[in-house]
Structure formats: C-alpha cells, structure tokens
Amino acid sequence: MTYHVIDAFIQFGFMRRSLVACLALSLSLTPLGVFLLLRRMSLIGDALSHAVLPGVAIGYLCAGMSLLAMGLGGFVAGLLVAMSSSWISNATRLHEDSTFAGLYLGSLALGVTLVSLRSSGVDLLHLLFGSLLAVDNQSLLFIGVIATITILVLAFFYRAIVFESFNAAFFQARSKRFPTLVHAMFMALVVMNLVAGFQILGTLMTVGLMMLPAITARCWTNHLPSTMAIAAITGMVSSFIGLTWSWYQSVPAGPAIVLTATICFLLSIAFGKEKGIFPIYRKQQH
C-alpha cells in the first residue's frame, strides 16, 4: 500500500521535483503566513498574489517563457504595490487594507489585459494558475534559492520581525527608520515567495499554502515557535497528499494542495486545542 502511494514519486522525476519544490515552499511560505496572521494582514498575501500578475505578464511579453524575466517582473510589481500602499496610507491616513484593495484590483485588471495581448498567452496562464509539469531543474533551483534566502533572513532578523509584529507602534516610537526597513524587508520576502510559488501552485494558489497552514497551527498553540513548526509540517503534509491526489485523480496540483490544507484547517477549527470549537465548548461547560 505504501509503495503504491509513493510509486509516482519513485518512477517520475517531475513528480519528485514538484514535491521537493512544494516542501521548500512550505518551509519558507508558512512562517511568513504566521507573521501576516499576527499582524492581522491575512488578506494582504492574497492582494499581493494578484499584484504580481502584471509584472509576470510584462516579463513574459519581453522575454517569452523566461523564468528569470517573469520572476523579476513579478517581484518588482508586487514590491511596488506593497510599498505604494504603505506610502499612500501614511500620506492620506487611509487604512493600509483600503489602499491595497484599490491597487491590487488595478494590478489584476492590468495583468489580465497584458496576458491577452499574445495569442500564446495560454502557456503563461498554466504558470499563473499552476502546472504540475512546469517544474524543471531551473525552477527548482530558483525556488530553493528563494526559500533559503527567506529562512536565513527570518532567522537573522527574527527578534526585530517579532517585535514589529506584536508592538509596531512602540517599535516606531523607539526608532524612526529601522521599523520601516523591517516592514519593507518583510513585505519583500512575501512578494519573493509568491513569485517563487507561481510555477508549481500559481500566484493565486500560493497564498493558500502561505495562510492555511498558519491558521491551522494557530488553532493548536499560542507559542510562536511551535506555531511556525506546526504550520511548516502542515504545509509539507498537505503538499505530499495534494500532489498524490493530483496524480492519481487527475486534478490540478495547486488546487489539490490547497484543498488538502483547507481540510486540515477545518479539522483544526473543530478540534484545535487552543481555538477549536469543541475544546472551547468543553471548557465553557466545565
């Protein structure tokens, strides 16, 4: 039975590459999702996933199916939207989610328009919405580099990111420039990982692997390191089960992984030790 489950990964190289890519993304995406959750910015990841579309499309129009060009274009577009949103909210006193909404909707419309400029844009759509066959050695190296950079930066600036996530106002009062740099660096990491995930999951599905394991973990513990560990494990398990489901049931890989993560999320909402419905109900009964 076990051999039958892993048979596809043993026989086919592209399945192994897809699994390794998803495992690497699980290690880098889920901690970012935990910090977004702590900052009450859960939907910002979704907005940024739409914001990278015009940059990816411009990279495709300029250089064809070049991973470097599309990745660089997506990173610049996403970072531009993130920084513009922060600047506009500070200048106008609008809440940041309001400015994000306006900018990402415009970016999404622009991206769809640019995609339609070439009749062969269907190939790009496979990348934007995920394709199990799209992960080659170059893509795997690209994802590995982004995941490694993310983990190292999070480890080096862990205390600053935690401080800025829990008490941004006090951090800002203590230092004028450093909190802004920490916030910009963190948003850059989010954009980088969304761009890294568009090959295997698509830009619209990558945010699912970022946020669902983080919310799942939050249902089980209030301890930050434990939350990050549970989130990473949930992401990796969801990736393995989702890819296996995708292969044997012929469903798209990205949605299969995100649906698996959604099932973990729903089970945690029901039975999670800290935030689950049934444990809270039992405590209230006692």
Per domain, the residue ranges of the chain are 2-203
Structure tokens at 253: 């890989």
pLDDT band at 175 (very low <50, low <70, confident <90, very high): low
- Average pLDDT of span 198-223: 85
Residue 117 corresponds to which tokens in the numbers above?
């400029």
What is the structure's pLDDT at 231?
A: 95
- Specify whether domain 2-203 bears CATH 1.10.3470.10: yes
Report how far residue 37's alpha carbon sits from residue 44's, in angstroms, rounded to the nearest whole number.
10
**Is the predicted pLDDT of residue 123 greater than 60, yes or no?**
no
Higher pLDDT: 80 or 127? It is: 80
